């Protein structure tokens, strides 16, 4: 039995949008996207605009490829193909998740004598896993395995996204004009 079936018992009827009633998924996704963008704009940044542009490209490629494999190849986490839920998923995938990962990676950067904010990045990492569970709760995505298995795999997945994008940004920031990566010691104060 899928977990989405279990959730239908908990959620009020109007959440699932049956009988022409309002669907909560789209406004909720938009709210999460708006909140993540506001959080991103309010926080002090350690990376430059070019670094953020590169980071967004990397995260979008990583996440879309992984989510497609989970959905289309493995049927591990699937998406309902209804227009409202599809649009909600697109908002989450293009805005919310990349922006939250960008905030976490930015927090882990060393800059001008500032130490990486490990606690904040860890909170975001756990927050991303919780956010995935919220998406399942509101039927935006559908888990096909147990909650514990999903919690573990989601934590591993987001840890992977943050680690890989952190490393690639480190490499990008240390590009010198010969195209070779220089030692990062000059960045450490």
| Interacting residues toward another protein by CB under 8 A | 48-50, 53-54, 56-58, 60-61, 64-65, 67-69, 71-73, 75, 78-79, 81-83, 85-86, 89-90, 93-94, 172, 175-177, 179
Minimum distance between the CB of residue 51 and another protein, rounded to whole angstroms? 8
| Separation between Cα atoms, residue 64 and residue 189, nearest integer Å | 36
Residue number, 102 or 121, with CB nearest to another protein: 102
Minimum distance between the CB of residue 14 and another protein, rounded to whole angstroms? 21
| Separation between Cα atoms, residue 11 and residue 154, nearest integer Å | 23
**Cβ pair 158, 105 in contact under 8 A:** no
**Cβ pair 26, 138 in contact under 8 A:** no
Minimum distance between the CB of residue 131 and another protein, rounded to whole angstroms? 18
Minimum distance between the CB of residue 45 and another protein, rounded to whole angstroms? 12
Residue number, 80 or 122, with CB nearest to another protein: 80
| Separation between Cα atoms, residue 93 and residue 78, nearest integer Å | 13
Residue number, 43 or 90, with CB nearest to another protein: 90
| Separation between Cα atoms, residue 90 and residue 80, nearest integer Å | 12
């Amino acid at each position: 039995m899928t977990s989405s079936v279990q959730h239908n018992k908990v959620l009020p009827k109007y959440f699932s949008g049956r009988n022409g009633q309002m669907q909560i998924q789209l406004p909720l996704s938009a709210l999460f996207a708006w909140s993540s963008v506001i959080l991103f704009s309010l926080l002090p940044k350690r990376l430059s605009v070019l670094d953020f542009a590169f980071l967004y490209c990397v995260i979008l490629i990583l996440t879309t490829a992984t989510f497609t494999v989970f959905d289309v190849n493995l049927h591990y986490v699937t998406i309902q193909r209804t227009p409202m839920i599809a649009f909600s998923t697109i908002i989450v995938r293009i805005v919310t998740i990349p922006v939250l990962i960008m905030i976490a990676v930015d927090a882990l950067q060393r800059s001008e004598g500032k130490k990486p904010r490990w606690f904040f990045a860890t909170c975001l990492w756990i927050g991303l896993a919780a956010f995935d569970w919220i998406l399942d709760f509101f039927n935006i995505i559908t888990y096909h395995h147990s909650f514990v298995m999903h919690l573990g795999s989601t934590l591993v997945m987001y840890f992977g996204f943050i680690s890989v994008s952190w490393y690639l940004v480190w490499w990008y920031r240390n590009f010198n004009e010969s195209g070779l990566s220089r030692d990062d010691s000059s960045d450490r104060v």
